[in-house]
Structure 1
Amino acid sequence: MDQALNILVARLLAHRFLPRKDPLARRALIDEAFRESLDHRLAGCGLRLLENPYAEYIAVGLAAEMEDWVFGEGENWLSNNMGMPRDAIALLIVVWALIILPKRQRQIALSASDPDDMFGGTSPIEFGDEVAPGIPEEAIYADFGKKLGGKARFSMNLSQLAKLGFINRRNKMVFEGPLLDLMIDYSRLAPRIINGALADLLKIDAAAVEAPIED
């Protein structure tokens, strides 16, 4: 088990994310003893496994008790450790709301018909462009671009989000990237968006989107 753990942790750190269908990633999701050892190994480095049944990938992130040590610098609090400026973070939240909220609604509807065996066998949770279709870059810019720094900044920030793995760009369309559904806490952010400032702008139906509790 130790060798398998070493390989999985090394691959997660080197590649930043792994598809959940990867044999070791799948083992971490269904093997209770292996998962406990993995959590213990990551906790020893101030990290935790990032995963949820609605995400196609797994990754690692900071443990909660490490956030002050990493993000707190004197009187300033870093918004992220990826070098993203504030307008890039704002764009990330907009893209997350446009892609992940509708995707989660579709996945919940699909899984409601067969709630058993979320991880093994034929999973009711589906992934891909069918449940998370792309959004035209021009449409995002038309609604939010001028508020996020204009054309040049918008294009630059999209490129940065793609480079970091949050989105994929194909044919002037924005698609979900490996980290988009992992690096943002859905259970905390979704209610704020659904009931907050973006609700009217995004025309989100609060009754149709429920925020599940995530690990």
Structure 2
Amino acid sequence: MEQQIRTLTARLLASRSLPRTDPLVRRALVDEAFRVDLDARLSAVGLQLIDNPYAAHVAVALADDVHEPVFGASREYAASNVGLTRDQLALLVVIWALIVLPKRERQINRQKLADDGQGDMFGKDAPLAHGEEVAGALSEASLLADFAPVLGHKTYVQGKLLSRLAQLGFIERRGGMIHEGPLLDVLLDYRLMADRIIYGTLGEVLSEAGHPPPAQDAFSAPEPDADADPDDLTD
């Protein structure tokens, strides 16, 4: 087990994220003793495993108690610990809201991307889905048309903003479409982000347009049952 933990730790540090379907990652998610040893190994160097059961990947991040010692001396840390500028952060939040919010609703309802919810008597009992069967993609041209005038201009958004988000692993750009990257869902706190967007910014926009905001529990992702079969939380 020691060698497997050593291997998994090294791979996480080298790759920043790994898919939940990876054999060693799956072991860390279902084997309590293995997870305890992995957490101890990461904690010894100021890191922690980030595991969101709704996300298709796991990642490593700094432990909470070392954020200030590591980033406190940098002015960039006030906005982002990966050095994102304000316009990059703004575009990241927009993309997160357009991809992750509807994806989470489909996951909660055990509904795939092309499914209208009809004809599946046992859909609510299906394993939690990940990947492109629930995550939609954005047209890059449409995103540029809507937000490039606000964030600068088309060339700037493509060359400086989208390229940086792709480089960091938040998004993937393929064939003119923007897809969810391995870090988009796992590193951004859904509960915090969803509340601020749906009942804050989006709620104000809807109210000004004369529409009531969404119901308080419309996008609430419940915590997974601690006694649930771990296989129900992974592909």
Q: Any residues of structure 2 matched to 1:57-136 within 5 Å, and which?
A: 57-73=57-73, 77-110=77-110, 113-114=124-125, 124-136=127-139
Q: Give the whole-Å Cα distance in 2 for the aligned partners of 1:142 and 1:30.
A: 44
* 5+ residue gaps, structure 1: 115-122
Partner in structure 2 of residue 195 of structure 1: 199
* 5+ residue gaps, structure 2: 112-122, 225-235
Q: Give the whole-Å Cα distance in 1 for the aligned partners of 2:204 and 2:188.
A: 21
**Aligned partner of 1:183 among 169, 182, 187:** 187
TM-score (norm: length of structure 2): 0.80
Partner in structure 1 of residue 227 of structure 2: none
Q: Give the whole-Å Cα distance in 2 for the aligned partners of 1:195 and 1:97.
A: 13
Report the Cα offset of residue 149 of structure 1. Answer: 2.1
Q: Assess, with a 3 A threshold, how the Cα gap between structure 1 residues 200 and 140 changes in structure 2: closer, same or farther.
A: farther
Percent of pairs with identical residues: 50
Report the Cα offset of residue 199 of structure 1. Answer: 4.2
SS of the equivalent of 1:88 reads: helix
SS of the equivalent of 1:48 reads: strand
RMSD: 2.3
- 1:126-158 deviations in whole A, cap 9, x for unaligned? 122231110111222222222222212211211
Of structures 1 and 2, the larger Rg is shown by 2
TM-score (norm: length of structure 1): 0.87
Q: Assess, with a 3 A threshold, how the Cα gap between structure 1 residues 50 and 149 changes in structure 2: closer, same or farther.
A: same
- 1:57-76 deviations in whole A, cap 9, x for unaligned? 11101111111122222777
Do the aligned residues in 2 keep the contact of 1:71 with 1:79 (CA within 8 Å)? no
Do the aligned residues in 2 keep the contact of 1:191 with 1:211 (CA within 8 Å)? no
SS of the equivalent of 1:210 reads: coil
Q: How many residues align?
A: 206
